[in-house]
Amino acid sequence: MGYNQAVSLKIGVQIVEIIEKAPAKINLGLDVVGKRADGYHELEMVMTSVDLADHLTFTPLPQPQIQLESNLAFLPTDRKNHVYQAAELLMKKAGITTGVHIYIDKHIPVAAGLAGGSSDCAAALRGLNRLWQLGYSNEELAALGAEIGSDVPYCLYGNTAFVTGRGETVTPLPAFGPCWIILVKPRMGVSTGSVFKELNLATIPHPPVRDLERAVIAQDYAAILAAMGNSLEAVTIPRHPIIQKIKDRMMRYGADAALMSGSGPTVFALCKQHSRAQRVYNGLKGFCDEVHLVPALMTRD
Ligand code: C5P
């Protein structure tokens, strides 16, 4: 399935089940430009989707109730889950008087810097928009999603994009790839809020994200590698030195680049050649429990 492709099962005109794919993202670049009056940070990011995804299945319920279920026992199934918040927001806005059962089949590591929760939330907005035949545009869903989490608007567009503001301004870019991506998630989770809190704006590095944007538009792989960077490494790496060890190991095994995604702790490596990617994957497999080798997700629909 491509980025936004979904499956609907209909009996007559009645939709009885919808399945949505919710892919993970990585940040090829992330610069924290400043602090805003609302307490959030002004960001400039280049994001791209990878072919590691959760799947959400939506089944209508006759009673006005939101039921969440997941293959992961520790995932919250109440209002703490952004999927629940998405369903509640749409029900309220559209005056829905029935309910929904949502099953989240989780594969994206949690609290990892891969926007798994935000992508699930975006998939819920997309899926319920179709299930309840609400007719909201992607832009309207993105505006609703921004109320729930900063990465949700990007996740509604997916693919490769230049993202600014606190995450609400999304400008689509040409697809990044073809390329292989190795994702390595160390054991701990990282809270995004705590990383931004600890950030010292006077000392953080500022990767050349505008150059990165130009390199993605020009589809110049060498220039993309040269311009990659993430301001948030300055906080998360000193806290969790294993992140630097993973980066070093990836480069030793032949990665074209290695960088922390979002606020971490997941580190990703890029490899143009599959044989190199396989070597990096094998070299990291015994080092951390969660290691994935996936292609960049290049489809735009
Ligand atoms: O929007 P979201 O709930 O995903 O963000 C988590 C936390 O990260 C926020 O509470 C905020 O402290 C911080 N954040 C920020 N600037 C952003 C995005 C997130 O300071 N642009």
Domain termination site, one of 127, 156, 172: 172
Residue type, 153: P
pLDDT tens figures, 98-150:
999 999 999 999 999 999 999 999 999 999 999 999 999 999 999 999 999 99
Ligand 1: residues within 6 Å at CB?
Answer: 40-41, 43, 149-151, 166-167, 192-193, 196
Q: Residue 244 in 3-state DSSP?
A: helix
Considering the domain boundaries, does residue 72 fall inside one?
Answer: yes
Residues 84 and 155 in one domain: yes
Residues 72 and 184 in one domain: no
Residue type, 223: A
Is 45 in contact with 162 (CB distance < 8 Å)?
yes
- Residues in the chain, total: 301
pLDDT of residue 14: 80
Residues 118 and 134 in one domain: yes
Residues 266 and 290 in one domain: yes
pLDDT one digit per residue (tens) for the chain, 301 residues:
456 667 888 777 788 899 999 999 999 999 999 999 999 999 999 999 999 999 999 999 999 999 999 999 999 999 999 999 999 999 999 999 999 999 999 999 999 999 999 999 999 999 999 999 999 999 999 999 999 999 999 999 999 999 999 999 999 999 999 999 999 999 999 999 999 999 999 999 999 999 999 999 999 999 999 999 999 999 999 999 999 999 999 999 999 999 999 999 999 999 999 999 999 999 999 899 899 999 999 875 5
Residues 89 and 185 in one domain: no
Residues 32 and 153 in one domain: yes
Residues 30 and 157 in one domain: yes
Using the 8-state DSSP alphabet, how is residue 107 labeled?
-
pLDDT of residue 15: 82
Considering the domain boundaries, does residue 119 fall inside one?
Answer: yes
How far is the C-alpha of 185 from the C-alpha of 113, rounded, in Å?
9
Instruction: Give residue 29's domain range.
Output: 18-172
Model pTM score: 0.95
How far is the C-alpha of 140 from the C-alpha of 215, rounded, in Å?
30
Considering the domain boundaries, does residue 291 fall inside one?
Answer: yes
Report, as residue numbers or ranges, the catalytic residues: 25, 151
Ligand 1 atom 8, closest CA: 193
Using the 8-state DSSP alphabet, how is residue 100 labeled?
E
Order across the sheet with 180-185: list the strands: 257-260, 267-271, 180-185, 290-295
Instruction: Report the CATH number at residue 163.
Output: 3.30.230.10
Domain termination site, one of 172, 194, 216: 172
pLDDT of residue 299: 74
Considering the domain boundaries, does residue 300 fall inside one?
Answer: no
Is 229 in contact with 205 (CB distance < 8 Å)?
yes
pLDDT of residue 9: 82
Ligand 1 atom nearest to 118, measured from its CA: 4
Residues 32 and 157 in one domain: yes
Considering the domain boundaries, does residue 60 fall inside one?
Answer: yes
Considering the domain boundaries, does residue 104 fall inside one?
Answer: yes
How far is the C-alpha of 201 from the C-alpha of 204, rounded, in Å?
6
CA dihedral angle for residue 166, residue 170, residue 174, residue 178, rounded to 10 degrees: 50
Considering the domain boundaries, does residue 4 fall inside one?
Answer: no
Overall number of domains in the chain: 2
Ligand 1 atom 13, closest CA: 193
Q: Hunting for tokens 């997916």 — which residue is that?
A: 158
Structure tokens at 278: 């396989």
Residues 100 and 54 in one domain: yes
Residues 25 and 58 in one domain: yes
Residues 112 and 230 in one domain: no
Annotated binding site for ATP: 109-119
| Bridge partners (DSSP) listed for residue 180 | 271, 295
Q: Residue 124 in 3-state DSSP?
A: helix
Ligand 1 atom nearest to 42, measured from its CA: 21
Ligand 1 atom 14, closest CA: 40
The C-alpha angle with vertex 23 and arms to 69 and 3, in degrees rounded to 5, equals: 120
Instruction: Report the CATH number at residue 229.
Output: 3.30.70.890
Structure tokens at 1: 């399935």
The C-alpha angle with vertex 203 and arms to 200 and 204, in degrees rounded to 5, equals: 80
Considering the domain boundaries, does residue 13 fall inside one?
Answer: no
Domain termination site, one of 156, 172, 188: 172
Residues 117 and 200 in one domain: no
Phi then psi dihedrals of residue 182, to 5 deg: -105, 125
Using the 8-state DSSP alphabet, how is residue 296 labeled?
B
Q: Which residues contact 76 (CB under 8 A, 6 or more apart)?
A: 84
